[in-house]
Structure 1
Amino acid sequence: MAEHHHQRPADAVKAYLPDNGPSTTQVVSIATLFPVGSILLSLAGLILTCTLFGIAVSVPLFLLFSPIIVPAVMTLTLAVAGFLTSGVFGITALSSFTWIITYFMKMRASLPGQFEQAKRRVGDAAGHMGQTVREVGQKAQDTVWS
């Protein structure tokens, strides 16, 4: 155990490293990804610099022209919202009319069958009512004559 405490620092680091070196695939992927990552990081820095420059130039211009720009943007926004709203209402109206016409066409196609069914029901109800009236009349007649 005493020998373990007297190891050289390099040997202690090697104990945490894998026994064999990196594979060829790992070396190729690092060699490929390092330049790609460097280019992307450089582009991110360039874009950040351009954005900051653009803000530095546009804020004073925006403040200078805001009495013109703000009402113009509001007018354009309201105009676009109005056109979109009228379009949505128009599409809704057309789809509603289409549904109503389809509904009436289906109802009209099934109307003759419904009339025949209604005639049968009325006839059955009239026959049943006539039978009931006859029975009640017969009972009343029997009661009067008895």
Structure 2
Amino acid sequence: MTQKLHDSAPTLRQAIRFLTAAAIGAALLFLSGLTLTGTVISLVIATPVLVLFSPVLIPAGIPTVLAMAGFLFSGGCCVAALMALSWMYNYLAGKHPVGADQVDYARMRIGDKARDMKERAREYGQFAQHKAHEATQTHAS
């Protein structure tokens, strides 16, 4: 029985790991408690000030938020356009950017469909021309 206890007992390395993890966990738990306490105290102190200045802050905050959203949106559009231009440049330069295989596959599929439609239009035109020729021959007789 003591052999089983000895085999299942943690090694010194495992014990040190456990104690280190427990110490770090306790420190982080203490810091999260301090953060929560500081947040609650700040909210208690700031609430009367926010209520007092809300007639000024809210009308000033709405356009500020809208302007910030507009700047962020236009910046995002600018970044997206630059990325698209960079991708197109790399694709046209033959550098094979990510997604080039899918673009090539789509281009081939569109080309195949265009050829099929052209062939069908030619066949339908010949069919319509043949029917028109038959119709003029039957009316002439």
TM-score greater than 0.5 by the shorter chain: no
TM bin, normalised by shorter chain, reads 0.3 to 0.5
Alignment TM-score, normalising by the size of structure 1: 0.44
- TM-score of the superposition, structure 2-length normalised? 0.45
